[in-house]
Structure formats: C-alpha cells, structure tokens
Amino acid sequence: MNAPTEPTRKLRVATTSLAGCFGCHMSFLDIDERLFDLLPLIEFDRTPLTDIKHCGPCDIGIVEGGICNAENVHVLREFRANCKVLIAIGACAVTGGLPAQRNHLDLADCLQEVYVTEVSLSKGGIPNDPELPLPLDKVHPIHEVVKVDYFIPGCPPSADAIWKFLTDLIAGRTPKLGHGLISYD
Amino acid sequence: MSDTQTFLLDGEEIPFAPGQTVIQAALAAGHYIPHLCYHPEFKPHGSCKVCTVKVGNRTAASCTLPAQAGLEVESASDEMNDLRRTLVQMLFAEGNHFCPSCEKSGNCALQALGYDLGVMTAGFRHLFPDRPVDASHPDLLLDFNRCILCELCVRASCEVDGKCVFALSGRGIDKHLIVNAPSGRLEDTDVALTDKAVQVCPVGVILKKRVGFAQPIGARRYDASPISAQALADAPRAPAGDGRCAACEEAEEK
Ligand code: SF4
Ligand code: SF4
Ligand code: FES
C-alpha cells in the first residue's frame, strides 16, 4: 500500500477520545513508520497529541469513544460543526462498546455499587465535584447524536485497517476495508 | 445430460434436482447466496430474509423458493446486497452484540456476514435490550443478548434430539427465545452437551462452558476466508432429523 501523493494543501485533522480507552489512538500510532508517509499530507488540529483544547475548522475529524457524559456531547458537536468529514473509529464510537455494557443497569445503581457498596472500590462516596461532567443515563454510539460520515469498527481497528482507510480517504477513494481488515473485535 | 434442468443465477446457469430450492441448487453449485436461518440439514424456516433474491420484479426468500427451469434470479446485485445489509444492521441494533467479549467471535455467521457485506455500523438506534443470561446449567451458558431468532436450536432440538428444549415466544419486537421448563431455566431440562441443538447456533447464544477462547481469535473459521468463500460447506446434505418429534406431531393432531 503506497501513501497517496502529496496534495497542494495539507489536510487538517482533529482527533479526540470520548468514552473510549485511547486504544484506537494507540492503534493509529501503531501505523509506525508509515506516520512519516502521512505527515507530509496532514497537519493536526485538536488531538491528544497536540494538546490544542478546541477544534477549529478541519477537513477530517476522527472520534474515538461513545457518548457517556454531557462533556462528550459538547466535544462531539464541536467536532461535527468544524469537520468536513467525521469518522467514528472503534467499537465504542460505532456501537457504544464496553461503556455501553452498563446500559441495562440503572445509573444510580452503578454509581452506588462502585463508589459506596463495593468495599474494595469505594473512596468516600459518589463524586460530586462541579468540575466533573454529568454522566448520561445511557451510553450512546456517536451516530445517535450527530451525523457521522464514516465508520471504522474494531476494538481497536488494526493499524493496517486505519492506514488503508485513511490512505483511501486522502486519495479521494471510497474507503474499503475488505476481508481481514474489517473486524468488530 | 439434455434433461438436466437449469435456472439462471446472476446470468449463470445453475443445474438443479427436482424439489431443490434456489439456495440449495446455488450452494451445491458453489454459488454463495447470503443466508442466516437456512441450514443444509434442516427444513427452511424463511425468517431472516437475508437470502432474498429478485425474480422478475418480485423479491423472494431463496431458501423457500422452489427452483424452476428458466427462472432468472438476481442475487449478487447492489440492490439485493443493500437490502441484506439493512437486515443485518437491524439484527445488530436489536440485540446486544459486543463482539470484543463474545466467545463466538470469528466463528459467528452474523459477524462474518457483516464483514462480507461491508457493514461498518448498525446505523439504527441501538435498542440495548435487557436480557439476563441463563448460566444455570453446569456445562452450558445461554446468552440471550445475541439471539437472532433463527430457530435453528428449536428445529434441532425438536427434529433431531426429540426434546424440544427451546422455543420462540412472543410476537414482533417482543419475540424471544425461551427454555421449555416450568422454571424456564436450562438446568431443569434434559438438554445434553451432545445434542444437535447445542451445536447449531450460528451466533454466540448457546455456548459450552470452559471452552472460551481455547481456539484463539485469528485462527477461527471466518478468519481463514470470508463466509462467501465457504458456500460449499452449506451445500445440501442429508437432513439431520426426520420431521418434528413425536410429541409435537401428537400435539398438532389434537
Ligand atoms: S454473536 Fe456474533 S455478532 Fe453477536 S457479539 Fe457474538 S460474535 Fe459478535
Ligand atoms: S439461540 Fe441461536 S440457534 Fe437458537 S434461535 Fe437464537 S440464534 Fe438461533
Ligand atoms: S436464509 Fe432464507 S430466510 Fe433466512
């Protein structure tokens, strides 16, 4: 797989991790030396790698993780408002993933169990610092909150899948993963 | 040779034996038509509609459509595959399919079908139903979260095992798999590990305990080749049972 040829202008890319584990970002970095092929083509806006706090106008937004709290919703909306193409990456962004495994439970029961009842976990009651974003009663995949243009499933998607997807997209092809690269686990 | 009857599948001639369905003839000839509830050893159930093909201006489930000479069947078209994709997406949105923690991953027909059709998202709003598992049996686990209501376990338990351990209950979106015991629990049935019903589930509902990931992810059935390349595995073969069990026949007659 060759990297696409250099465009006249670098594509501006933003990434974020919402209710995710950063595994998808790690998998992105796992493209290893192919990052050198990618860097002449793109520049980063807000990402955990640049520490830019807010997303500006971008060509591509990549969102890891689902929506589990109020802050996730704000960040996701900011991405949608600023990114021409929005990509959901990983099982959590695409399906809700692991965090959504609490969806059949009552949120208050979860908080009670973790912060009060369970002795090995409890550390002085349910946190209520105003700095903390309020949890939502259910965890949602991001397409339930904003329009999403592309989805890359996987927990996490492999570096090869991410590479194939991004190089297709940057080259102006419809991204296609195919056998061995498309994976839900 | 001259009296071999054929029909056209995506423009290719497919021979068939009298009594065969379109999907049986296609699979026997090595042509894949996507399917979920069809199984070569059981009577067709016709419920998942994934095997839908176009004949003239109409669509029909190819697992229940009798092969006829001269039929012109369209299957591998964008139109049919779009329809199948939507059906698979609905199955994903309707249950709880968290593949990363599912023991069936890599051996699962629903997942393999999703991969093959290029299903990147369930698209719909996920229902996140609350379906407690049944871990009562010492050797078997039932995870209802992943049931696609294909009735293969129901058919196998009745037609082959003669036990009718499983049944579907309810209508529409409330339809669900039940265990035929007054307690509703699997431990109170005479299900056995060797039962056909325990082996046929295409997804990760009926699972043997203490097996887990002994066969590693990456070395599983659909890792080797996509489900569409395994059409011959589902070619017609002798039926596993001979119709419904005696008790069910009797109940019907009453
Ligand atoms: S049953 Fe299949 S589709 Fe569902 S979670 Fe398990 S592997 Fe995934
Ligand atoms: S448990 Fe498995 S075999 Fe039985 S109806 Fe559900 S999906 Fe089909
Ligand atoms: S395989 Fe034909 S309807 Fe399910």
- Per residue in B199-233, pLDDT tens? 999 999 999 999 999 999 999 999 999 999 998 89
Nearest to B89 by CA among B107, B105, B110: B110
CATH of range B83-224; options 3.30.70.20, 3.20.20.370, 3.20.20.70, 3.50.50.60: 3.30.70.20
List the domain range (segments joined by +) for residue A52.
Answer: 11-101+138-171
For residue A54, report the distance from its CA to the centre of ligand 2, in Å. Answer: 47
Mean pLDDT, chain B, integer: 95
Q: What's the CA gap between A100 and A93, in Å, rounded?
A: 10
Of all residues in chain B, the one with the smallest CA distance to A179 is B226
Helix-helix angle B78-94:B109-117, to 10 degrees: 140
d(CA B90, CA A140): 16
CA distance B25 to B63: 10
Q: Which residue, among A63, A55, A60, has the nearest Cα to A93 in the 3D structure?
A: A63
Q: Which ligand is nearest to the CA of B234?
A: 3
> Where residue A49 sits, what CATH number does that domain have?
3.40.50.700
Average confidence score pLDDT of chain A = 94
Q: Name the band, by pLDDT with cuts 50, 70 and 90, for residue A3.
A: low
Contact A98 B116 (CB under 8 A): no
In a domain, A63, yes or no: yes
Cα(B73)–Cα(B46) distance, integer angstroms: 17
For residue A27, give the H/E element and its range. Answer: helix A23-29
Q: Which residues of A touch B102 (CB under 8 A)?
A: 185
Radius of gyration of chain A (CA): 18
Q: Which of A34, A36, A90, A30 is nearest to A62 (CA)?
A: A90
Which residue's entry shows tokens 């079908």?
B113
Domain boundaries defined on chain B: 5-76+235-253, 83-224
- Residues in A closer than 8 angstroms to B129, CB to CB, are 104
Distance between Cα B61 and ligand 3 center (Å): 6
Q: What is the pLDDT of residues B15-69, one digit of tens each?
A: 999 999 999 999 999 999 999 999 999 989 999 999 999 999 999 999 999 999 9
Q: With 60 as the cut, is the pLDDT of residue B2 above it?
A: no
How far apart (Å, rounded) are the C-alpha atoms in residues A164 and A38?
Answer: 12
Chain B (128-147) residues lying within 8 Å, Cβ to Cβ, of chain A:
128-131
Lowest-pLDDT choice from A110-114, B121-125, B145-149, B178-182: A110-114
What are the backbone angles phi and psi of residue A179, rounded to the nearest 5°? -55, 135
Q: Are B236 and B27 in contact (CB under 8 A)?
A: yes
The ligand with the least distance to the CA atom of B91 is: 1
The domain defined by B5-76+235-253 carries CATH number 3.10.20.740? yes
Tally the domains of chain A: 1
Chain B residue nearest residue A94, CA to CA: B121
Tokens 């002449």 found at: A40
B116: contact with A, CB 8 A cutoff: yes
At B116, list the tokens: 């093959």
Task: Give the DSSP H/E element, type plus range, for residue B124.
Answer: none
Residue carrying structure tokens 């082959």: B160
